[in-house]
């Protein structure tokens, strides 16, 4: 009788341990990126030629070059050299006002809001051509930064120099998600025409590559929310569940022992 009771108790313990393990562990499908990666690319939305657009409050560093350097000097606020810091360059930029305009030397008010970088360059070259022959214009966004928050290893603000950043690269800059990041429900906050818009992103799906927020814009906010495991841990759910489960297993074992 004692041997049978021991075997019964041992089986209950093993069953309880297995059940707790299954309940505690998350599914790999909640962790892996780009699952079932049979991507049907939407050719109508060719992101390979993606360009950032000028937005209100952008800080644009605009430089003008010409065969006659002296003629182009009037359009350049300040000369730069290799020792000029990024912070110093920011003070030389043209701030886009709330109406999408900048005040450019000689030309005056120029509306650049909503234009791509190449469109803005073409417009300025056309206007400057009235003063100098064959001008070359270069524009650099001095405020292209994104914010990555939530369940990532290195949350913070990141300044981007090449003016082209994907949401995957943003996660890489932030040290990737933690194991507690909800890969099925990331959030991108973007300001469009003065209004905050929120986009849900499922990083486990290869359809992320067709998302309109795959390429991030200046001042985008990427938020990785915690998964259920982290929420349970934060609210002491796991500890309470373990305690209740252990007590219940003990009572069940005792009941079977006395019944035997």
Domain ranges (residues) in the chain: 2-25+233-259, 31-50+144-226, 59-141
The CATH superfamily label for domain 59-141 reads: wza like domain (3.30.1950.10)
Choose the weakest-confidence range: 74-78, 205-209, 240-244: 240-244
* pLDDT over 80 (residue 234): no
Helix axes 2-24, 237-259, angle to 10 degrees: 160
Among the ranges given (8-22, 49-63, 185-199, 204-218), the one the predictor scored with the smallest mean pLDDT: 8-22
Q: What is the pLDDT of residue 50?
A: 78
d(CA 57, CA 77): 19
What value does the mean pLDDT take over residues 234-244?
56
Q: In percent, how much of the chain has pLDDT > 70?
A: 63
Residue 188 belongs to what H/E stretch?
A: strand 181-192
* pLDDT tens track for 121-158: 999 999 999 999 999 999 999 988 999 999 999 999 99
Three-point CA angle 83, 88, 94, nearest 5°:
130
Strand (E) positions, 47-180?
A: 59-65, 94-95, 101-104, 108-111, 136-141, 145-150, 156-159, 165-166
What confidence score (pLDDT) does residue 192 get?
84
The alpha helices in 141-214, defined as continuous H runs, are 167-173
Q: Is the pLDDT higher at 46 or at 53? A: 53
- CATH superfamily for 31-50+144-226 is Outer membrane lipoprotein wza domain like (3.10.560.10)
Q: What is the mean pLDDT of residues 245-258?
A: 60
Q: Has this prediction a pTM greater than 0.85?
A: no
Higher per-residue confidence, 32 vs 144: 144
- Does residue 21 carry a pLDDT above 50? no
């Amino acid at each position: 009788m004692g041997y049978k009771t021991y075997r019964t108790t041992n089986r209950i313990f093993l069953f309880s341990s297995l059940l707790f393990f299954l309940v505690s562990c998350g599914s790999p499908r909640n962790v892996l990126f780009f699952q079932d990666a049979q991507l049907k690319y939407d050719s109508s939305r060719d992101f390979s030629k993606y360009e950032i657009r000028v937005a209100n409050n952008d800080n644009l560093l605009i430089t003008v070059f010409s065969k006659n350097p002296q003629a182009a000097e009037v359009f350049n606020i300040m000369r730069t050299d290799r020792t000029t810091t990024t912070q110093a360059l920011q003070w030389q930029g043209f701030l886009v006002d709330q109406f999408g305009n900048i005040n450019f030397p000689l030309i005056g008010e120029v509306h650049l809001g909503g234009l791509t970088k190449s469109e803005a360059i073409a417009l300025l070259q056309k206007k400057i051509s009235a003063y100098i022959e064959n001008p070359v214009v270069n524009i650099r966004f001095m405020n292209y930064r994104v914010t990555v928050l939530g369940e990532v290893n290195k949350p913070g603000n990141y300044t981007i120099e090449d003016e082209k950043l994907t949401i995957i690269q943003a996660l890489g800059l932030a040290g990737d998600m933690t194991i507690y990041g909800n890969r099925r429900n990331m959030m991108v906050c973007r300001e469009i025409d003065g209004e905050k818009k929120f986009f849900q992103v499922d990083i486990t799906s290869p359809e992320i590559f067709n998302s309109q927020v795959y390429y991030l814009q200046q001042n985008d906010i990427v938020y990785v929310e915690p998964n259920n495991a982290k929420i349970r841990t934060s609210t002491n759910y796991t500890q309470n569940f373990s305690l209740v489960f252990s007590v219940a297993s003990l009572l069940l074992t005792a009941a079977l022992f006395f019944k035997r």
